[in-house]
Amino acid sequence: MLSASASVLTPFEPSCILVYGPGKYRFYDFIKVGGGLTVAMLLVVLAMVPMFWPLK
């Protein structure tokens, strides 16, 4: 669930497809912006998951 909600690297997610055509975005635009967002979400998820679901 967490990884599916952070899929912004490519425009193949339904909400990204809605703006892909009308916004005249290119595939590379999603790679540029989505790459940074993906790395940021990776770090946040890796830091927060052990807080909410600790291994006992």
The CA angle 38-7-14, to the nearest 5 degrees, is 145
**What would the two tokens of residue 4 be?**
């599916």
Residue pair 12/34 in contact (Cβ under 8 Å)? The answer is no
pLDDT in tens, the chain (56 residues): 656 666 777 777 777 778 888 888 888 888 888 888 888 988 988 899 899 989 88
Task: Tell if the pTM clears 0.85, that is, is over it.
Answer: no
